[in-house]
Amino acid sequence: MNELAADAFFQDSSVKKAKEEILAAIEKHKQKITQIRPPFPGLKISYQESVQLLESLRGQDLFYHYIGSGFGHGALVELADGSVKLDFISGIGTFWGHGHPKMVEAALEGSLEDICMQTNLQQNRDIVNLCALLTKHAELDHCFLTTSGAMANENALKILFQKKAPAYRVLAFERCFMGRSLALAQITDRPRFREGLPSNFHVDYVPFYDWRDPKGSTERALFVLEKHLNRYPGQHACMSFELIQGEAGNYPGTQEFFTALMKQLKVRNIAILVDEVQTFGRTDHLFAFQHFRLQPYVDVVTCGKLCQVCATLFKDAFKPKPGLIAQTFVSTSAAIKVSLALIKALTEDGYLGSEGKNMQIRKHFVEHLTRLADKYPKKIEGPFGHGLMIACTPFKGDKEKVTEFAKTLFESGLITYTAGSDPTRLRFLVPQGSVTFEDIDQAAMILENLLVEKS
């Protein structure tokens, strides 16, 4: 008999029964969370004390006074003060929904494995399946998993710098966001994010696509790109492409715009990195570079957030030398299981494609935002973005007013977030695995009610 002890354990009838009972109990108690509700009066003081303690321990204030109870139901989440809110930001795009049965079951199975955190030296069978799944769908040769989008981008840069040595410069778009690590803060086009930090390599910026002037913005970007390439011949290792600029305010480019730049980069033998940490799973394709039909040009792709376990995917020509990329942790066993379940749901349950669930959700939400913009043109503009990266601009994008509006929405039971500056936008990353049209209708109603109240 060659049966693995692990297989015998996971097929054990008592384990199956226990899992079924836990899942049934979760479903039972989720029924207590069916609508937005205010905090429980008896929990207000202790909740506020917890918020103050957390802010003190972190050394900085929280944007929202959000401490979850650890329980939710679809797009609804329960906080530790007893309140229930509609979650339309999903941890900036990391959640599929609260208490989703398939994801809970996957996480439960992962938690039963013998190690909580899988490591670079000791990885379980699911990692093989996850790497194979990601490389298959991305149509790239290799996959290196990691714990965060920042590390996925760090690994990508290391791979590209090594391949293109001694080149030491990077090209990126104006207003881009790539992360906050020491290296990534150099690329992220937010000077205050690197205040006081030493510079460790050089970055040259190219203007991003402007939907108000497609032809002109493409010509300007090509001109600036050529200027950088001529000024520093042979010194650029890669250009980083954020295809939909999320942190800037959900600005998408176009196939024509990206292709024009990528063709010029290929002529100069400069590698192309696509940062999909936020766009993964949020368009009509699994990867946004596939939506924009950029497969012939892409060398390295990073993904994160929604896929739970972050990854750097790359062509065989960019395979790094031994020792360049390594780490202690790959991810938790639970997250790896959830990642597999989530990618399977995205690719097999009708979320992708021009008529898939992703685009149906977008259409329904965009119709509401368009109606509000038409009805209150002096108070809200939009919608903007692409796929499930949706945004609007209240109050002409005034940062203070939009921030105040977001916090008022939070208190009213709708969780959104801000992005960009000049203008500052209100953005949404809905939990597409669980959100319903009724949830979207209610979110639009809250938005409209507060717009009416604001002078």
| Residue environment code for 310-349, b if the CB has 16+ CB neighbours within 10 A, otherwise e | bbbbbeeebebeeeebeeeebbbbbbbbbbbbbbebbeee
pLDDT of residue 107: 96
Q: Which fold has domain 32-93+354-453?
A: Aspartate Aminotransferase, domain 1 (3.90.1150)
262: tokens are: 């990528």
344: tokens are: 């399977």
- CATH of segment(s) 119-348: 3.40.640.10
pLDDT of residue 200: 86
What gap in Å lies between CA 379 and CA 401, rounded to an integer? 11
What gap in Å lies between CA 336 and CA 449, rounded to an integer? 41
What gap in Å lies between CA 388 and CA 301, rounded to an integer? 20
Q: Which residues of the chain have pLDDT under 50?
A: none
276: tokens are: 């999909």
Angle value at C-alpha 158, between 141 and 242, nearest 5 degrees: 75
- Domain definitions of the chain by residue range: 32-93+354-453, 119-348
Nearest to 80 by CA among 43, 54, 53: 43
Evaluate whether 32-93+354-453 and 119-348 have a shared fold.
no
pLDDT of residue 1: 63
pLDDT of residue 454: 80
| H helix intervals, 59-169 | 90-93, 101-111, 125-138, 149-164
Q: At what angle do helices 214-231 and 255-267 cross, to 10 degrees?
A: 20
310: tokens are: 């972050």
